[in-house]
Structure 1
């Protein structure tokens, strides 16, 4: 999950807001942005918790409500971050109402050629932020191509099929080969829209904030996220989505047993 979100955000072709909505505790700040956080460039207390607290008297929130709660992603000039929770207690305090307010502000932000929004919805747990998933224009379920992870993904895949329109639902298979990815797609019954190769050194750049490859063009994972980011950006644009001019975010949810 962290690898997919961080990789897409790093290579996104236009301004983008990354929302860490993992109710079990976000990995983006301690992992992808860990060194920046340790040096004080990222403030973990500015994010979904501070936003939910500041807007608790409201039902819906315009995009201006993000002011004071989002922060620049160091080294990536086009990206901003709404940092996640650090405990499940914080996620419980946000609740569905808080996630609804974040969803309303995110949808408002994407109007009129505004920035795209990428949401890390975390693993499927009782506190999954469903308002951010049902409001999304594209929902990706991430899973690894092993029998254990595919079996763990079956219940959430069925739930997503019942909840999300089929043209807004896709599958992201991480650490995979092409043949394995298509097998996973057949089993889970969703179209394969993102394949991330098994490249541990490249993945550590996004999951642990490791030093970047000296030549990103030689990194298969960088190439895969680069191409996918452009494809998703085009798909999410209001010109491509002419039947739905009010764009929503892209939400990524991982299976309960998955890790990406």
Structure 2
């Protein structure tokens, strides 16, 4: 299954989109909230259920101890988002000042995420937040650059508005260059269109010279629920956003599979330490924290 990183040029619904894709997937799924500007899901969608004792920041100290410690910490800091434990969250930072501590943790975390995708069949979504560039490159502290580099797909989330397209134009070329030089190739980049505004998918693809890999409908009630939590809209699971998100996850898998075949990626070796992640998750599946 693919590891998919979602990014934006400015706030365009990355978190709501990532949540929708995670909740709608037909397979076990994991959302890693890796925006260095801070996470919003624990205070929004989860309404404070997840305390600061869980989440991304705690992986930094574990990684400095050993790979084994990181694998164990990763498994123990996932939060179930459904009763069966098939939807998991690695909650994000509670303070943007914590981002600097993660600079050396990102590569190891990327390896863990790919183990889950490749060996356990998880759909892995990364909320990488707003792109931060410095001298035309991803900022090493303000962007989780290694996660973006190694993702099977990188989705630039855009809306069908003139403002959103204008902002996106400024980041596509440097992002393509970075993925070509340091990532899995410029063809990893695609667009996820939020259908808010007058421009349709073919117009957006033509304007930005980048393929639209999927589109999600403008569904403000569901988007607000995913962003802010509270009482879910009636029939949220059958609503347009989650229905289209389910289709989108299948589209992303197909694109990632084609890329893998075309590029003939060698299998990633799995270390015994990281294989322990799979055992821990299988043991914990179906349980929940009180």
User: Which bin holds the TM-score, normalised by the shorter protein?
Assistant: 0.7 to 0.9
Question: 1:62, 1:104 within 8 Å by CA — same for their partners in 2?
Answer: no
Map 1:44-123 → 2, pairs under 5 A: 44-58=52-66, 63-75=71-83, 77-95=85-103, 97-123=104-130
Alpha-carbon separation, structure 2, partners of 1:229 and 1:99: 24
Alpha-carbon separation, structure 2, partners of 1:147 and 1:177: 8
Does the alignment pair 1:12 with 2:25?
Answer: yes
Alpha-carbon RMSD across the aligned residues, in angstroms, is 2.6
**Partner residue, 2:156:** 141
Unpaired stretches in structure 1, ≥5 consecutive residues: 248-260
Give 1:58 shift: 4.4
Selected match of 2:249 from 229, 246, 251: 229
Deviations 1:12-71 (A, max 9, x none): 11111110001111122222222xx2xx3x233312100111112447987555222212
Aligned length: 240
SS of the aligned residue for 2:44 comes to helix
Deviations 1:214-256 (A, max 9, x none): 334752212211211233245556x984433647xxxxxxxxx
Q: What is the TM-score when the length of structure 1 is the normalising length?
A: 0.81
Selected match of 2:43 from 6, 11, 30: 30
Deviations 1:81-129 (A, max 9, x none): 111112221112212x111121121122223343231100001124111
Question: 2:161, 2:196 within 8 Å by CA — same for their partners in 1?
Answer: no
Unpaired stretches in structure 2, ≥5 consecutive residues: 1-13, 133-138, 180-184, 269-290
Q: What is the TM-score when the length of structure 2 is the normalising length?
A: 0.73
Q: 1:158 to 1:136 in 2, by over 3 A?
A: same
**Larger gyration radius, structure 1 or structure 2:** 2
Deviations 1:175-198 (A, max 9, x none): 436843332222222100121222
**Partner residue, 1:204:** 224
Question: 2:33, 2:127 within 8 Å by CA — same for their partners in 1?
Answer: yes
Q: 1:60 to 1:50 in 2, by over 3 A?
A: same
Alpha-carbon separation, structure 1, partners of 2:23 and 2:158: 21
SS of the aligned residue for 1:111 comes to helix
Alpha-carbon separation, structure 2, partners of 1:49 and 1:67: 14
Q: 1:229 to 1:220 in 2, by over 3 A?
A: same
